[in-house]
Chain A
């Protein structure tokens, strides 16, 4: 009960912060711009996807980390109240993830709706929400691990950089080095290890142009077909939501404030 009440005010607080408002406006402008310029809504969705996959994780993880450090003193005050630590954690985590998701859905959903997006558009929104939750979890994890704010933000940037940029390079390298071997299963497993790749695959399977997106997409299409692939990726995305958040919770429960 107490957690729900805290959650309400955490969302109040975050939704009024300048960063979230800027984020929403930025997404609005970008989405309208891309859809307007692209004319064809499907193509526009693909372009939008690439931007969403880059911006949503970055903003979520950096804003989340900064937010945690800024709220630390307040969390300290909440912890002095007769409320369980885990409840305070969930209120803070959900407050952050839900606010980021609301910002994203407003910023991307309105343009997509205005131009009459298909099911793919809905999937795009769903992906963005998943990514907001996943990277909020990572944000709290790196903030709880590091007492020092600069180190925490550094670790968050590294996580983002690794998952957004480095990881794809590694996959590419592996497929180049070992291209004499059947790599389909390996690539499948590797994809499941990266939530951003999973999100990409999920959308591309819906768009029916998966072959265009290289090795991973093609393998997915071939092995699972559209339906199974979607279920597979949603399952792993859910895992990616829970793992960092639970890890952060464990450390939060032991933390000295």
Chain B
């Protein structure tokens, strides 16, 4: 049923209140706007969060739809991880509303059965074996049967099923963590720097998987600092700067707007313009 949507992944919804720039984009994508709401799966409105009186998110408005890969970018400390953690309910926001599949996530935990999550730095109980960890997660998730074990197989993790997790290298843990985020066939997959610390082969497998799942109609949100990777994967870029959504557009639009053919330069230009 999602096939129709997959063909036009570049559609966007702009709720960026930053400057006048987006007005022309909205008019361009006017028609797409109308088709949007039924696809929208995550909607964030007026999200605010501070740590120790430091306002990290200053009222974020953004929404994500099915069948897309969205990249959340921004300099270090711009609140990328905090934003994703708010969606996951790991961080309690001060203000704002987040809905996932039209469920308000406040005081609700059921909505998380739609989300698969890969944290930035995974750590598991050191003395459990990989197999036990997987069994435990299956157990906790109520043993539904349509597991997606593709990544476990492709990343060759079955060979280490009987090793205690404490003995694995950081990269291997990252592979385990990535596989687990896809294991339960969730509609939304949130990957916090999915390829950091992976070897090139695993990296490619991971990227292939991300694209494949997008084509299956899932929403995949990644954060990354690697521009080439974002360029290859993402349909949309949400660029956070100083706690606001600075840019929210497709990769091509971003290039058009900045008159740069190179995404790296386009992003640099945005940041420089902001500074001046």
Give B93's nearest chain A residue, CB to CB.
A256
Is residue B115 within 8 Å, beta carbon to beta carbon, of the partner chain?
A: yes
Residues facing B in A162-198 (CB within 8 A) are none
Residues in A whose Cβ lies below 8 Å from that of B139: 5
Residues in B whose Cβ lies below 8 Å from that of A78: 140
State the CA gap A81–B128 with chains docked (Å).
19
Known: A9-B128, A13-B125, A17-B127. A82 touches B111 (CB 8 A): yes
Residues in B whose Cβ lies below 8 Å from that of A9: 125, 128, 132-133, 136
State the CA gap A254–B89 with chains docked (Å).
11
Is residue B29 within 8 Å, beta carbon to beta carbon, of the partner chain?
A: no
Known: A9-B132, A81-B141, A257-B90. A73 touches B112 (CB 8 A): no
Residues facing B in A51-99 (CB within 8 A) are 70-74, 76-85
Chain A min CB distance to B81 (Å): 11
Residues in B whose Cβ lies below 8 Å from that of A77: 117, 119, 122, 124, 177
Which residue in A6, A82, A256 is a CB contact (below 8 Å) of B91? A256
State the CA gap A83–B90 with chains docked (Å).
12
State the CA gap A16–B117 with chains docked (Å).
27
A256→B140 contact, CB < 8 A: no
Known: A17-B126, A71-B125. A82 touches B119 (CB 8 A): no
Chain A min CB distance to B117 (Å): 4
Residues in A whose Cβ lies below 8 Å from that of B122: 73, 77
Is residue A44 within 8 Å, beta carbon to beta carbon, of the partner chain?
A: no
State the CA gap A16–B128 with chains docked (Å).
8
Which residue in A14, A71, A80 is a CB contact (below 8 Å) of B90? A80
State the CA gap A158–B117 with chains docked (Å).
37
B88→A80 contact, CB < 8 A: yes
Residues in B whose Cβ lies below 8 Å from that of A70: 123, 126
A74→B140 contact, CB < 8 A: no
State the CA gap A254–B92 with chains docked (Å).
7
B111→A74 contact, CB < 8 A: no
Give A79's nearest chain B residue, CB to CB.
B90
Which chain B residues have a beta carbon within 8 Å of chain A's beta carbons?
A: 51, 85, 88-92, 109-113, 115, 117, 119, 121-128, 132-133, 136-137, 139-142, 164, 177
Which chain A residues have a beta carbon within 8 Å of chain B's beta carbons?
A: 2, 5-6, 8-10, 12-14, 16-17, 70-74, 76-85, 254, 256-257
Given A9-B133, A81-B112, A83-B112, 9 additional A-B pairs, CB 8 A: A2-B140, A6-B140, A13-B126, A16-B164, A72-B123, A73-B124, A77-B177, A81-B137, A82-B110
**Across the A-B interface, the 9 shortest Cβ-Cβ residue pairs:** A73-B123, A13-B125, A16-B127, A80-B117, A257-B90, A82-B113, A82-B112, A256-B91, A9-B136
Provide 16 A-B residue pairs closer than 8 Å at the C-beta atoms, listed in order of the A residue: A9-B132, A13-B127, A16-B164, A17-B126, A70-B126, A72-B123, A73-B124, A77-B177, A79-B88, A79-B89, A80-B88, A80-B115, A82-B109, A82-B113, A83-B140, A84-B109
